[in-house]
Amino acid sequence: MADVPGAQRPIVGGGPEPRDPLDCWACAVLVTAQNLLVAAFNLVLLALVLGTILLPAVTMLGFGFLCHSQFLRSQAPPCTAHLRDPGFTALLVTGFLLLVPLLVLALASYRRLCLRLRLADCLVPYSRALYRRRRASQPRQTPASPASQTVSTPGKVWV
């Protein structure tokens, strides 16, 4: 067989061997399902972290836009009972000023949580669906003389 781009070559040595087409298809479905579940969990975790940390800024912006006379001019009881337009302007300014630092804090805590939960390790590469690992054959051990045996001690060696 000539070197044709895209043609499969037999794998020599102890590398992975290709799966059968039906086995490859079934593994691809399972790998896709697991990766989609991990992605969905990541999105739920991101929404939970962002929603929790950004809640004060979003609340200030919501009340500011809802109650200011230049935007919606709501006549809801929280809008008319407590503040007037200068107070709602202060809510808008404070909400926008808090938004960026809280967003940085939320993304940093999401990253730390992902690293602690090791979510990236749950993603499975598609090469696992295409190839199966060969089982490594263990070399036979020949009985050695007692003088040539070494005793390993558990622990760390500092050099």
Where are the extended beta strands (E) located within 78-153? 131-132
Strand, coil or helix: 145: coil
Please write the tens of the pLDDT for every residue from 26-47: 777 888 899 999 999 999 999 9
Question: What mean pLDDT is reported for the chain?
Answer: 77
Question: Tokens 């999401």 appear where?
Answer: 110
Q: With 60 as the cut, is the pLDDT of residue 125 above it?
A: yes
Please write the tens of the pLDDT for every residue from 54-84: 999 999 998 888 888 777 667 777 777 777 8
* Nearest-10 Cα torsion for 11, 12, 13, 16: 0
CA gap 108, 115 in Å, rounded: 11
pTM for the model: 0.61
